[in-house]
Amino acid sequence: MNLALFFDPLPDELTAPATVPTSVAAYAARFAENFPDWRHADLALIGLDEWRGTAAGPPPAGRHGANCVRERLYQLQKGTGPLRLVDLGNLRPGLSLEDTYQRLREVVAALLEADTVPLLLGGGHDLDCGQFLAYEAMGQSINFAVVDSRPDMARPSVGTPAEESHLRRLLMHEPNFVFSCAHLAHQQYLTPTEVLTAFEKLHFETMSVGELRTDRRLAEPVLRQANFVSIDIAAIRWQDAPGYYPASPFGLSNEDATQLCWYAGHNAQLSSLGLYGYRPDHDPHGLAAATLATMLWYFIEGFYHRKPETGFGTYRFLTYTLVLPGTPAELVFYKSRRADKWWMQVESMGDQTVKRIVPCTHQDYLHAAQGDLPQRWIRTQALLG
């Protein structure tokens, strides 16, 4: 596929030779005259400037959010990994919003097939529809996580922006290839009770911003299970990332956001990341651009620290088998000898040949050791049917 047909090259100021040989810019192959070789890259940065699915509409002409973030990213120092990064430029919007979704779908699917991780940057949060649809052709169920100040589950209707209903669209898509969805960082006072009830009935995990601010490590097993992650900048409090509207003084801190990206980067099965919603017209000092650039940096650094965990039940793991008084009669946990990470084996109560090994916490193990079934086991059991 000739992906160059879908992209506009970067402006001259973003493709000039790097003046600092240890900066990210010195290692990124950027689209200027020649389209980068994305098939042999580890990561591919894609700028998005599609706002037809938002209530506020596009930012003022001439201010491309992804370019503002690039300016900050390329000034940062390269991390410890080899950094095989290509910047494909900015995706050209389609004739309609749906055309843009389908165009993004094709691009992301091509990158996934080449084992290149897309890093999607900018535009309305509804663009994760294109990110999501790229996984349909993989022929397997997926897990994904959304980080946002509220679940965007409005019923589609005339006049309702797509950004307010895109999560419902993902979960209602046919054919359904979602195994689980997790929503992180919602704010209780922005989230209708019936939406949280619906997530509970679907056996999907939710985690409020208060829970994450108390202990952000709770998000690690959730992000370790995801195939892709979609983040709305509105999940971050305004004073740390003033690049969205309407403003909110509450939300994740910039440290919380970078930690979540670090966790996501570490996940060997996570194959795409989307950072959406950044509006440069609300970021006069570039603070939000710097926050997003640092989030990308931590994701990339996490990516180059990936160590795929395979071989459960071998010498690579400590195996803990707990005998329980009821049903199930036992639970099996695995702890990596290399890292402080835990997994739990869940067998379907209806068909014992169906089982999954899912990420969990040490706390899940301690609960089970006291005879209490972890909520994560209960949710997974319900999903297995």
What pTM did the predictor assign? 0.96
Burial of 239 from C-beta contacts in 10 A (0-12 / 13-18 / 19+): middle
Q: Tokens in use for 108? A: 């992301």
The whole-number mean pLDDT for each consecutive block of 10 residues of the chain, a chain of 385 residues, reads: 94 94 97 96 98 92 90 97 96 97 98 98 97 94 98 90 97 96 97 97 97 96 98 98 94 98 97 97 96 98 91 91 88 93 92 89 95 94 91
pLDDT digits (tens, 9 = 90+) for 196-211: 999 999 999 999 999 9
Per-residue pLDDT, 65: 95
Per-residue pLDDT, 309: 83
Per-residue pLDDT, 70: 98
> Is there a contact between 207 and 185 (Cβ–Cβ < 8 Å)?
yes
Per-residue pLDDT, 32: 95
**Domain parsing of the chain, residue ranges:** 3-303, 317-384
Concatenate the DSSP letters of all residues of 318-334 into one string.
Answer: EEEEEE-SSSSSEEEEE
Cα-based angle 139, 47, 125 (whole degrees, multiple of 5): 65
- Determine the CATH number of domain 3-303: 3.40.800.10
Rounded distance between C-alpha atoms, residue 54 and residue 277, angstroms:
9
pLDDT digits (tens, 9 = 90+) for 226-253: 999 999 999 999 999 999 999 999 999 9
